[in-house]
């Protein structure tokens, strides 16, 4: 069987979810997958971004990262999403992109994609779980298969114990509080493992 194809699709204004995406890609490559790291388009006007030095610096630093397209969704066997919490929901940038996938959904091209999600917020109860679950709601409409980490590896507990997907707290200095690297990599490997089962079952 050819290598599994993973798209890691993220939104980040300060760099946290970009870092999570990089770790997820690393974990998936270790599991033998072909990966792409892709950002969703920014909706905030440049005038707002310019007023926030950290936001502007991150936008400049990731200018080389390609924006996700519908072709990338169709290409991928599996997708990992990484987003910050916005009032307990995914940010509008990610929602806007998901809203463009109706054509693929209508053609049945989102069915049986294996998906997983990660999130961040500025305090331990800042809506990380609700944000992941809000994204999974869209995935159920896709007909996708959610590969949550559950409590299936010690790294999940070490990272704070979120069974829905790795989540992290970011302090006022923009640094991650929990050590989540291994949990992210485990989540990526698990996503690839489930995608292999699905692909083998469909092709078998």
* Interatomic CA distance for residues 169 and 147, integer angstroms: 22
Residue 70 tokens read as 């519908």
What integer pLDDT is reported at residue 1 of this predicted model? 55
What integer pLDDT is reported at residue 157 of this predicted model? 93
pTM of the model: 0.96
- Would you say 148 and 164 are in contact if contact means Cβ atoms under 8 Å apart? yes
CATH code for the part of the protein at 5-203: 3.40.50.360
Residue 61 tokens read as 């630093």
CA neighbours closer than 13 Å in the CB half-sphere of residue 137: 10
Residue ranges per structural domain of the chain? 5-203
Question: In the chain, which stretches have pLDDT less than 70?
Answer: 1, 203-204
State whether residue 187 is helix, strand or coil: helix
What integer pLDDT is reported at residue 204 of this predicted model? 61
């Amino acid at each position: 069987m050819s290598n599994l194809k993973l798209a890691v699709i993220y939104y980040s204004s300060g760099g946290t979810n970009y870092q999570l995406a990089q770790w997820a890609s690393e974990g998936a490559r270790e599991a033998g997958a072909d990966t792409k790291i892709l950002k969703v388009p920014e909706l905030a006007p440049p005038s707002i971004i310019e007023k926030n030095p950290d936001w502007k610096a991150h936008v400049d630093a990731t200018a080389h990262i390609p924006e996700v397209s519908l072709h990338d969704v169709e290409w991928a066997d599996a997708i990992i999403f990484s987003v910050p919490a916005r009032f307990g929901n995914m940010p509008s940038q990610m929602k806007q992109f998901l809203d463009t996938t109706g054509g693929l959904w209508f053609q049945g091209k989102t069915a049986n994609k294996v998906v997983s999600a990660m999130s961040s917020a500025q305090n331990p109860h800042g809506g990380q779980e609700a944000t992941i679950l809000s994204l999974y709601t869209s995935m159920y409409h896709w007909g996708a298969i959610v590969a949550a980490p559950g409590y299936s590896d010690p790294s999940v507990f070490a990272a704070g114990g979120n069974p829905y997907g790795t989540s992290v707290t970011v302090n006022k200095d923009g640094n991650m509080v929990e050590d989540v690297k291994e949990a992210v990599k485990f989540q990526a490997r698990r996503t690839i493992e489930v995608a292999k089962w699905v692909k083998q079952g469909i092709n078998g």
